[in-house]
Amino acid sequence: MLLDKSEKIAIESRTPKYLQVVNLIMEEIEKGELKIGDRIPSINETSFDFLLSRDTVEKAYNELRDRGIITSVRGKGFYISSTDLKNKIKILLLFNKLSSYKKIIYYSILETLGSNASVDLHIHHYNRNLLESLLEQNLGHYHYYVLAPHFFNSNGHPESAYDLVKKIPKEKLIILDRAVKDHENEFPGVYQDFAKDIFEALELGISHLRKYERLILVFPKGELYPIEIMDGFKRFCFFHDFKNLIVDGVDDNEPLDEGDCHIVLAESDLVNIVKKSREQLLRLGKDIGLISYNDTPLKEILANGITTISTDFQNMGKVIAEQILGKEDRIPIKNPFRMTLRKSL
C-alpha cells in the first residue's frame, strides 16, 4: 500500500492534503492493491507515515467514509467496504434565486464537475426560514453544500443568517456569489465584493464617463439587489466629483435628459431607456450614456452594443467546482469583475 512515505504528499499542490490522502487510497483500489475487507492503517499510523496532522487524516477518512469507500469497525480499525469508485460526490446547491446569471453558474458547475458528481438544486428565495427547513431536511445527506448567502430581514436590510450557515459542517460548506457578512474570511468559496467591484469598474471607464454631466444609478425598489452597489456608486461619485442621482426606476412619462449616463440593474429599465432614446432621437454613447449591470450575449448586439459592468459568472461556477474537486484551494476567492466597453458609453 502507498500510505508509507511522506514524499507521497505534494506540499505545494493546490489539492488539499486530506484529498491527496483520499486520492492515494483510491488509486490503490483502482490498481487492485486494496480489496474489499482489507484493513488500512489507523489515523495515527497514517498521520505518522505522512507527517500530517491527525485532523487532516481524520478529515480524509471521513471523506472516504462519506463516499462509502471505507467503514470503521469499533476497536479494530478501518476497512475497505467498496471498490466501486464510480460513487459520485453528492452536492446540494442552495441558490437565492434562479435567474439567467445563476443558470450560467449552475451549468458551469455541472460542466466542470463532469461525471464526478451528482448535483441537486434548491432555491431559498432570500428566506432564512426556508433555508432552515432545507437544512433540516438535507443535512447529512450530501458531501458538499454550496450556499448563496443572500438574505434580507423584514426591513429589507441584508443579514448574514450566520447562525444557520454555521450549522453546515465547515469542511462541507462552500460560499457562492457573496461572502457571509462579518465573516468574510471564514468560509471557502467565490464571492463578489459589490461595493468595491462597481467602484473599480467605473474607474476603468472614467475617461468615457467624464463626457456626461450626471451619473444616474437606477436601483429598483423591492428587487433585493445588494445595497452595497449603491454604496460603491456613491463613493465613486464622491471621490471623482460626479454629479449623481439614485432613482428606483425609469418613469414612463419622464423624458431622458441629454448629458445623463444611466447605470441600470434591471433588464426592464435597460429596455425602457433604449426605447426612450430612440423616441427622443438621442444617440447612445453620444447624447446619453448607458451601462447595464451583468453581461449577457444579448447586450452585445442590443442597440449596437450595451456597455456592461459584470462579474464572470462562468468562472464563478468553474472555481466552485474546482474547490469541490480539490483542484483549487479552498479559500475565499474574489471573482473577477470588469467593464466591457461598447457603443452605449
> pLDDT tens digits, residue range 165-189?
999 998 899 999 999 988 989 999 9
Q: What does the alpha-carbon distance between residue 313 and residue 30 come to, in Å, rounded to a whole number?
A: 35
Q: Is the pLDDT of residue 153 over 80?
A: no
Instruction: Look at residue 69 in the predicted model and tell me its pLDDT.
Output: 86
| Domain CATH code at residue 211 | 3.40.50.2300
User: Are 277 and 130 within one domain?
Assistant: no
Nearest to residue 339, comparing CAs of 310, 305, 313? 310
Q: Tell me, yes or no, whether 10 lies in a domain.
A: yes
Range of the domain at 68: 6-80
Q: Is the pLDDT of residue 1 over 50?
A: no
Domain boundary among 80, 100, 119: 80
Q: What is the largest CA-CA distance in the chain?
A: 82
Q: What average pLDDT does the structure give for the chain?
A: 90
Note the pLDDT tens digit of each residue in 221-236: 877 899 999 999 999 9
141 against 112, higher pLDDT: 112
Range 264-267 contact pairs with CB under 8 angstroms and sequence separation of 24 or more: 264/218, 264/290, 264/291, 264/292, 264/293, 265/218, 265/219, 265/220, 265/223, 265/225, 265/229, 265/293, 265/294, 266/218, 266/220, 266/223
- Domain total in the chain: 3
User: Are 186 and 322 within one domain?
Assistant: yes
User: Are 73 and 123 within one domain?
Assistant: no
pTM of model > 0.95:
no
Report helix angle 100-113 to 313-325, nearest 10.
40
SS3 letters across 169-228: CHHHEEEEEECCCCCCCCCCEEEECHHHHHHHHHHHCHHHHCCCCEEEEECCCCCCCCCH
The pLDDT > 90 percentage for the chain reads: 61
Nearest to residue 67, comparing CAs of 55, 76, 75, 59? 59
Q: Tell me, yes or no, whether 345 lies in a domain.
A: no
User: Are 180 and 214 within one domain?
Assistant: no
Q: Tell me, yes or no, whether 1 lies in a domain.
A: no
- CB 180, CB 170: distance < 8 Å: no
User: Are 266 and 307 within one domain?
Assistant: yes
Domain boundary among 57, 80, 103: 80
User: Are 187 and 227 within one domain?
Assistant: no
> The C-alpha cell of 7 is what?
514524499
Q: Tell me, yes or no, whether 200 lies in a domain.
A: yes
User: Are 221 and 324 within one domain?
Assistant: no
User: Are 185 and 322 within one domain?
Assistant: yes
Confidence of residue 150 (pLDDT cuts 50, 70, 90): very high
Say how far residue 260 (Cα) sits from the centre of its chain. Answer: 33
Q: What does the alpha-carbon distance between residue 112 and residue 227 come to, in Å, rounded to a whole number?
A: 31
Instruction: Look at residue 2 in the predicted model and tell me its pLDDT.
Output: 44
User: Are 275 and 203 within one domain?
Assistant: yes
